[in-house]
Amino acid sequence: MDQTIDATMDQTMDSVEENGNSSRQEKSLGILTTRFVTLLQEAPEGTLDLKTAADTLAVRQKRRIYDITNVLEGIGLIEKKSKNSIQWLGAGPGCNSREVTDKLTQLKNEISQLKAKEAEIEKYYGWCKQSVINLTDDKANKKNAFLHDTELLNAFQNQTILVVQAPVGSSLQVPIVDTNNTDETKKHIKHRIHLKSNNGPINVTLVHGDEREHNPWSCSMTTLLPPPNGNDFIFGLGPQEGLTELYMNHD
């Protein structure tokens, strides 16, 4: 009977000792996790080397560090940069302060307002796009889809007018002119236009009205690109010319 009681007491003491050791281990692991996360949050750019962390925290069993990192990675608070380096993805120290919380709320409100504004702009853009499609697809409007050279000249008086006809996908660049020049030097500024096309030739026409004032038969548009062919009637017919001259062979 006494032996049975002694055996039972020994088992009970062993159980209490094991529970005590387990409790101490859990407490120790919790403290280590807290210190590790703090060290990770304070690391430059949130990147921490595990070997450095083990030395700083004086951890003899590096397996405990890996146990912590596995849990943190599993809940999405860190990611592995390399074999022994991790990146913190959570918030930094002091993230629960009232100031940070208010700032976060403000930013969320701004994002919501910007999304609403973006949706409104997209709506108006869709309306405008559909209006252009309706306008261009209307058969009654297609016959009027052009501008006369005199309209351009009247709209842009005393200005150089270039009409560019280019394939879809062409690019046009106009380098910015230095605006610090004086009014006198601005008169002599030469503007440059860079045109590029990978889908076909580009036609550039200069619109001018000087010759039209003196000769009503002359055209006010001069082809610049591609260079004019000598046999092309790009200037129209003169007052003394007719269809015979237009189709005459100039070999």
pLDDT of residue 189: 67
Q: CA-to-CA distance for 16 and 245, rounded, in angstroms?
A: 120
User: Closest Cα partner for 70 from 50, 52, 44?
Assistant: 50
CB 42 within 8 A of CB 95: no
| Amino acid in position 226 | P
pLDDT of residue 126: 95
pTM of the model: 0.32
pLDDT of residue 223: 57
C-alpha distances in Å from residue 195, one per residue of 44, 132, 171, 180, 203: 48, 26, 6, 26, 10
> Mean pLDDT for each consecutive 10-residue tract of the chain (251 residues)?
46 47 61 87 86 86 86 87 85 63 86 96 95 86 78 82 87 78 61 86 80 49 55 55 56 46
Q: Which residues are CB-neighbours of 164 under 8 A, at least 6 positions away?
A: 172, 195, 202, 203, 204, 205
CB 66 within 8 A of CB 29: no
User: Closest Cα partner for 227 from 204, 210, 250, 211?
Assistant: 204
For 183, other C-beta atoms within 10 Å of its C-beta total 6
Q: CA-to-CA distance for 227 and 206, rounded, in angstroms?
A: 12
User: Closest Cα partner for 241 from 220, 215, 223?
Assistant: 215
Interaxial angle between packed helices 62-74 and 2-41, expressed in degrees from 0 to 180 and rounded to the nearest 10? 70
Q: CA-to-CA distance for 89 and 77, rounded, in angstroms?
A: 5
Q: CA-to-CA distance for 13 and 30, rounded, in angstroms?
A: 25
pLDDT of residue 59: 84
